[in-house]
Amino acid sequence: METFVNKVAESGIITINLEDYFPKDLMIFDMKSFLFMELILKEKDYRASLLAFDWSVYEQKNVVITCSVDAIIPVWAYMLAANYLQNVAKKLWVDTPEKATELLLLDHIHQIDEKEFVDQRVVIKGCGDIAIAPSAYAAITAKLKPVVKSIMYGEPCSTVPIYKKKKD
């Protein structure tokens, strides 16, 4: 009887799935609910609503301030919301939820301890369940390139070579 050997498992290749670093705790502060008829910002009403708002729901959370409707929002309105949120939020952005998610993912990648990957062969997993921004793949490549033997993209059984350290 022939014994099958899992060459991928024995190769010592480390697989990094960027989905593992994907932010799951981003909360949205949508300006839409503070607009009159979801169209117009009335300063007096807006200020009163912000003052009465229960900000504790954002306690130590990553928060993006955005507006999900097509309305003209003056810059000071974002500043005023940020003023309240900075007292409670862990991190804060004014952008789209997609962009804030990308920035938070990049932050998670920058926090990776590259020492764990010294002289390793690494595959950055592709084709997952979550759409990962190309900037995240570029960031993990830049983070690991100085310390790894090689970086590949894809699956351990079928990879695209990205970088290979030159032998001295």
Residue 121 has pLDDT above 80, yes or no: yes
Domain layout of the chain by residue ranges: 7-22+102-164, 26-96
The pLDDT value recorded for residue 1 is 64
**Computed from CA positions of residues 148, 115, 10, 156, in that sequence, does the dihedral angle turn out positive or negative?**
negative
Where residue 8 falls among pLDDT bands split at 50, 70, 90? very low
**Computed from CA positions of residues 142, 145, 146, 148, in that sequence, does the dihedral angle turn out positive or negative?**
positive
Residue 15 has pLDDT above 80, yes or no: yes
Where residue 3 falls among pLDDT bands split at 50, 70, 90? low
